[in-house]
Amino acid sequence: MSTNSMEERLLALSDLSKVGRYEIVRKLGQGGASLVFLGRDPYIKRLVALKLAPLASSGVSDKFFKEIQSTGRMTHPNIVAVYDAGLARDYCYIAMEYVDGPQLSEFCKPGRLMPLANAVECIYKVVRAIGYAHEKGIVHRDLKPSNIIMEDTKTPKISDFGIAVVTEETAPLEQAGTPSYMSPEQLRDETCCPQSDIYALGCVLYELLTGQKAFDGDSFFSIMYKVINEEPVGIRALNPDLPPILEKIVGKAMAKDKLYRYSSCEEFAFELKVALRGLSAPAKLAKNNDVVEYVQSVSFFAEFSKIHVRELMRASEMVQVKDGECIVEEGEIDDSFYIVLSGATKVIRRGNKVATIGIGECFGEMAYIGGRPRSASVISEGDCILMKINGALLDRAPAKIQLLFFKQFALTLVNRLSRSSFDPKACLESVV
């Protein structure tokens, strides 16, 4: 569909006085491929936000309704509720909860930035909400500050779930929206996935912390080139007062290759929560329900109850490790063992890397079980968060907890065997 054709079709929709059963109150805004109106439901007597987008074909309408069936079932305090959807002539519409507040983009400008802790908490809530959508198999595809509305100073609400599936096919690429928040794979016309949303959220966080877009330019294609080929200026170069952990979080979320981004919104949210704890010094980490839920979602603790995880977190030590830091050293005597909650580590034996240990895996357990010196060193690959458990603590734990730990130790050994093609020598070299 040509740019002129799209403009003409949007112009024709601008004069509508009614959409479905909804009465048009006034126009709220317009994007490259859609219009937003304030509408009134005459039966329920409530205001709604109506988003309209022209349709290119009946096939698009089928995709649109399939998407809306999923998004309409979502109930989350940080997601704008979808009330209704329909077709009228050659356009589709969504009737959504009307949130009378500013877009997040209002707080992405120099001089209007939120207090740092508020900004991180805001994105934390958005990431959790998007994680909820991902669990239901829904990818947003079009996350940006203008699609996040602030209901009040601390309550963001994400809008426009479902509409992206229409605008992707009805608008030319350069009309579909700013590429500043599109992931490299989206700009290469590859399939969107949860990591595409994670990238966009990294871009939103970048802008919320600095007041500048990570990538900007004079045209769609100049920005597109930068997104695919260039690295953004570091956030601490733009705002030196920002803590290093936030620069690391933004960098990981915005990695060019989706394999190097956060594996899930849960992992992303966990690191934001750790950063927030350092900014606002809230209650002890182990008492935080969100962190407990994240730890329980890590594969090592899949069979542990929430009560067990909470007790373990109270008794264990949460360790933050910087890139390249030695966590355990070959030859040392220590019965502590570790579970990786975020990041990755490498096993070094006699100067050679023999294995990588990632999220949900443990190391140091063989020194605890065998009571012998460490057989290898473990060094962080990037910043990591680990749970450190003292051997004496596990010795005093209830039999059920000990059984769960030893089951995970056995599974760890099985996984190492499978990764080493059942070569016992290679497997033993990765044991710490």
Q: Decide if 33 contacts 13 (C-beta within 8 A).
A: no
| Assigned token pair, 101 | 């507040």
Q: How far is CA 87 from CA 19, 22, 28, 74, 83, in A?
A: 9, 13, 20, 21, 14
Which residues carry out catalysis?
142
CA angle centred on 28, ends 22 and 34, rounded to 5°: 80
Q: Torsion over CA of 8, 1, 221 and 93, rounded to 10 degrees? A: 70
Residue-wise pLDDT for 260-314, tens only, equals 999 999 999 988 988 887 775 433 444 456 788 888 888 899 889 888 888 788 7
User: Would you give the DSSP letter of residue 145?
Assistant: G
* pLDDT given for residue 40 in this prediction: 96
Q: Decide if 91 contacts 33 (C-beta within 8 A).
A: no
d(CA 270, CA 70): 26
* pLDDT given for residue 172 in this prediction: 46
Residue-wise pLDDT for 102-117, tens only, equals 999 999 999 999 999 9
Is the pTM higher than 0.85? The answer reads: no
- Within 10 Å of residue 406's Cβ, how many Cβ atoms? 13
Q: Decide if 316 contacts 329 (C-beta within 8 A).
A: no
Measuring CA to CA, which residue among 94, 252, 74 is closest to residue 163? 94
Domains plus CATH for the chain?
3-276 (1.10.510.10), 304-429 (2.60.120.10)
User: Would you give the DSSP letter of residue 380?
Assistant: E
DSSP string, 243-292: -HHHHHHHHHHT-SSGGGS-SSHHHHHHHHHHHHHHHH--S-GGG-HHHH
Q: How confident is the chain (432 residues) per 10-residue block, as mean pLDDT? A: 64 84 92 84 94 69 69 88 85 90 94 93 96 90 93 89 55 58 92 94 98 94 95 95 93 96 92 79 49 86 87 83 90 87 91 89 85 87 89 80 88 74 50 58
* 77-103 CB burial, b ≥16 within 10 A, e <16: ebbbbbbbbeeeeebbbbbbbbbeeeb
User: Would you give the DSSP letter of residue 211?
Assistant: S
Q: Decide if 79 contacts 132 (C-beta within 8 A).
A: yes
* pLDDT given for residue 104 in this prediction: 97
Q: Decide if 210 contacts 219 (C-beta within 8 A).
A: no
- Within 10 Å of residue 190's Cβ, how many Cβ atoms? 12
- Within 10 Å of residue 236's Cβ, how many Cβ atoms? 16
Q: Which amino acid is at 427?
A: C
Q: Decide if 327 contacts 338 (C-beta within 8 A).
A: yes
Residue-wise pLDDT for 44-56, tens only, equals 999 999 988 887 6
